[in-house]
Structure 1
């Protein structure tokens, strides 16, 4: 059994779903393991992670619209230290997740045909996000 880890830095242009499947898969391929479990962890409270369809961009737009309706920007929030998108970003992260676990089989991520890994940026301004990748396997 071996372990490997890496911090992946992702620059986001602002709100939205940003696919990171290629970068994550490249890390896994470089570790030359055939079976295991990958953990992807987002080190932030205003961005999150999702596994979602990567074929039709309308799926991503509909998800982004839905999250914006569920946790809209509003002057009624007490926490607005970094602007009107601050508290909604925290709420949107609470609705999703900051950690994913993905099995590794046959040396590849066991994602379905239409599945991709996404960093979901909830802040309106560009950000630099850190993701910790941890692979345990053989």
Structure 2
């Protein structure tokens, strides 16, 4: 049977945040029921994203945030700034990164590479909580 849970991640400000442990703690029940399958994570927001990246060196998170700031700079002449100068730039970065990831499940655990982790990429300066839908398909 498919399994699904919606949960809220802890409040975080702009940056790339390793959330693997937080996600696993929220989906333990579904993992116990699934020897082989796929986890699909979907973030229900337009100013944050989900991705996979290196999970060991925290400098990767800083570098990734810096690179995204250079790829999609806040200094462009953004028109949609209703919620502040990081409004449209956040939406654009979320489109670049994406709002979902899929990860294989093997032997009731996420089958990530040795150095892979799940990242929340938060693009707003003010800290936000973010809602994620986790779906496990056997």
Question: Which of the five TM-score ranges fits, normalised by the shorter chain?
Answer: over 0.9
After superposition, what is the alpha-carbon deviation per residue over 1:11-54, rounded to whole angstroms, capped at 9, x for unaligned? 33310112221122234432211111110001011000010101
Whole-angstrom distance in 1 between the partners of 2:27 and 2:106 = 11
**Would you say the 8 A contact 2:17–2:61 is kept in 1?**
no
Distance, in Å, in 1 between the alignment partners of 2:106 and 2:113 is: 12
Aligned equivalents of 2:17, 2:95: Cα separation in 1: 18
State the TM-score, normalizing by the size of structure 2.
0.93
> Alpha-carbon deviation of 1:75?
6.2
- The count of aligned residue pairs is 136
Which stretches in structure 1 are left out of the alignment for 5+ residues?
none
Distance in 2 (CA, whole Å) between partners of 1:129 and 1:22 is 16
Q: RMSD across aligned C-alpha pairs, in angstroms?
A: 1.2
Match of 2:62 in 1: 61
| Deviant stretches of 4+, over 6 Å | none
What TM-score do the two structures reach when normalised by structure 1? 0.93
Gaps of 5+ in 2: none
Corresponding residue of 2:98: 97
